[in-house]
Every structure is written in structure tokens, then in C-alpha cells.
Amino acid sequence: MKAATAIQTFHYSSPCIEWRNFEGKPRGSVRYSQRIKENKRLIAIASAHLQHDKRRDLRQRSVSDKNSSALLETGNLVHSSFDEELVLKRKAEEVKPYLNGRSMYLVGMMGSGKTTVGKIMAKALGYTFFDCDTLIEEAMNGTSVTEIFEHFGESVFREKETEALKNLSLMYHQVVVSTGGGAVIRPINWNYMHKGISIWLDVPLEALAQRIAAVGTNSRPLLHDDESGGDPYTVALNRLSTIWEARGEAYTNASARISLENITSKLGYRNVSDLTPTEIAIEAFEQVQSFLNEED
């Protein structure tokens, strides 16, 4: 198959966005500051409940009900998923009116959780979620990312990636986009992503290597390494380190940075792998809020 015949124009099948429904950003009104205060109070209450419930759940865990559906096990800790959901919902409600319908673009290294966290954020905001890699595959008649790299080369993939970001930024508001890990390397892509708010999921390379070693590198062609050998974790870590050297700096263009190490110490956990995707999404909303405040 020739590259030229396979490259199609994009067709998006997601629901049409109601442009006239965008909420204006209420600036400087008394109701605005009252609402912020009230939301902060509710979040503080919900956070206090969350911490209390975590401690209580840890105590209860040793004696009873390890299968309770209200508890979600993650690493060494047991979280009350209900309370997490409540904090997430409050945060999303708090930030949404001030987004003015702007979209969010999640950037980060392969395996950083852009898809996982992005879906949670989109649901909480009532936004539509898009995965950029999936859009490219659809535009190439279902050809997988790995096959695109193999048959057409990385440059064709990068062209399609830019086209996808351009279309998303021009055609849509109120979407959360999980971008490909390499979307940050082309300056033109930032022109499109800066039409919305870009969010960098900054995850330590060791944690990324662990996740990738667990799921394999089949869908991540840049991590394939048939030559060096070694165990999957070491191979992934070596490849990620090389990629990071080349593009680590580019991620700092993002509007907001979500550092998993910072959240881990803020919540008093031992390891970034103790964090749930919902906790990361909550932090993302907080960082977006800080960005919007600074922007004002």
C-alpha cells in the first residue's frame, strides 16, 4: 500500500458540541468569590473525610471485609473511592465555569496515564474525550500506530499527528485530548494545544518503565528494542531515558505540570504507584485552577 493512498482526511464521529452553551467567565462579582469560598469549604470537608476514611479503612482492613465493593485497593493503601469521586466532582464543578469552554490537552511520556486520567477528567467535566493516537489510526483506515511507523515511517505519523491536533483545536471546544507522547516535539503542535490548556503528567521514568514492562511494548514502536536484550523493565527504562533526554525540555511548554512525586509527598504516600488515577485527576484540576488564576 502506498503512503499517499492511505493518508485520509480526518473524520470525527463524536457528538456535535453546542457552541452557544458556553458559559461566560463571571469576573469580579460577589457571587463569584462567594461560590469559590463555598466550594473551597466543601472540598476541605471532603478531603478531611477522605483522610479520615483512609485511616479508618486501614484499621478495618486487617479485621474484616476485604472484599467490600466500596473500597478500592491500590498499592499498600485502601482508598474510599466514593470520597475520591466526591472531591473530584467538586473540583470539576469549581473549575469548569472558569474554563470558558476551553479544551484540555494532556501531554507526557508514554505510559504516563494521559488516557487513563484524561477519561476521568472528561467525565467529571462533562467534556468529550479524544485519544490522538486513536484518531490517527482511524484516519489511516484502522492502521495501527505500530504499523504506521513500520510501513510509512515516523515522519508520516508526525504529519498525521499535527493534522489531528490542528483539527481538534479548530473544530472542538470542551474536549479532553490524550496526545501522543511525542506530540510535544513539534513547535507547531504547541500553537494548536495552546488554544486550550495543556497539562503535563510528569511521572518518574522508573514508574513508567514498571507500567510499560507490565503491559508490553506492542503498541509503542519507539520502545521496541530487539538488540540490547535484558529484562523488560531495564529495556523500557533505557529506551525511556534516551527519549527523555531528547524531549524532556519540550514538556515544560505545558500550561500546568502535574508532578506525581509532589502529589505523593503531599498525600503522605510512600510511592508514586500508591496514587490512584482519580487523585491525579484532582491534582490536575487544582493545577489548572492555579494556571487560570495566574492568567487573570
Ligand X SMILES: Nc1ncnc2c1ncn2[C@@H]1O[C@H](COP(=O)(O)OP(=O)(O)OP(=O)(O)O)[C@@H](O)[C@H]1O
List of residues contacting ligand SKM (CB under 6 A) = 110, 133, 145, 180-182, 220-222
- Compute the distance between CA of residue 131 and CA of residue 180 in angstroms, rounded to an integer: 8
With CB under 5 to 8 Å by kind, the binding choice for 108 among ligand X, ligand SKM, none is ligand X
Which of 90, 114, 195, 239 is in the footprint of ligand X by CB under 6 A? 114
In sequence order, what DSSP letters do the residues of 184-235 get, joined into one string? GGSHHHHHHHTTSEEEEEE--HHHHHHHHHHH-STT-GGG--SSS-S-HHHH
- Compute the distance between CA of residue 252 and CA of residue 18 in angstroms, rounded to an integer: 32
With CB under 5 to 8 Å by kind, the binding choice for 232 among ligand SKM, ligand X, none is none
Q: Which of 208, 185, 176, 203 is nearest to 106 (CA)?
A: 176
Judged by CB under 6 A, does residue 182 bind ligand X?
A: no
With CB under 5 to 8 Å by kind, the binding choice for 116 among ligand X, ligand SKM, none is ligand X
Minimum CB separation from ligand SKM for residue 255, in Å?
A: 20
Which of 88, 110, 209, 236 is in the footprint of ligand X by CB under 6 A? 110
Minimum CB separation from ligand X for residue 61, in Å?
A: 20
Minimum CB separation from ligand SKM for residue 180, in Å?
A: 2
Judged by CB under 6 A, does residue 111 bind ligand X?
A: yes
Q: What is the DSSP letter of 175?
A: E
Which of 46, 176, 280, 292 is in the footprint of ligand X by CB under 6 A? 280
Containing 79, the helix (H) or strand (E) segment is strand 77-80
Judged by CB under 6 A, does residue 232 bind ligand X?
A: no
Which of 43, 181, 198, 257 is in the footprint of ligand X by CB under 6 A? 181
Which of 103, 116, 174, 217 is in the footprint of ligand X by CB under 6 A? 116
CA distances from 168 to 156, 171, 191 (A): 18, 5, 12
In this structure, what is the dihedral angle of CA atoms 86, 91, 97, 98, given to the nearest 10 degrees? Answer: 180
Enumerate the β-bridge partners of residue 57.
Answer: none
Minimum CB separation from ligand X for residue 116, in Å?
A: 3
Enumerate the β-bridge partners of residue 107.
Answer: 200
Helix (H, G, I), strand (E, B) or coil at 105: strand
With CB under 5 to 8 Å by kind, the binding choice for 113 among ligand SKM, ligand X, none is ligand X
With CB under 5 to 8 Å by kind, the binding choice for 111 among ligand X, ligand SKM, none is ligand X
Minimum CB separation from ligand X for residue 289, in Å?
A: 21
- Compute the distance between CA of residue 275 and CA of residue 264 in angstroms, rounded to an integer: 7
- Compute the distance between CA of residue 15 and CA of residue 92 in angstroms, rounded to an integer: 21
With CB under 5 to 8 Å by kind, the binding choice for 145 among ligand X, ligand SKM, none is ligand SKM
Minimum CB separation from ligand SKM for residue 284, in Å?
A: 18
- Compute the distance between CA of residue 32 and CA of residue 36 in angstroms, rounded to an integer: 6
Chain residues that interact with ligand X, rule: CB under 6 A: 108, 110-116, 133, 178, 180-181, 211, 215, 220, 273, 275, 277, 280
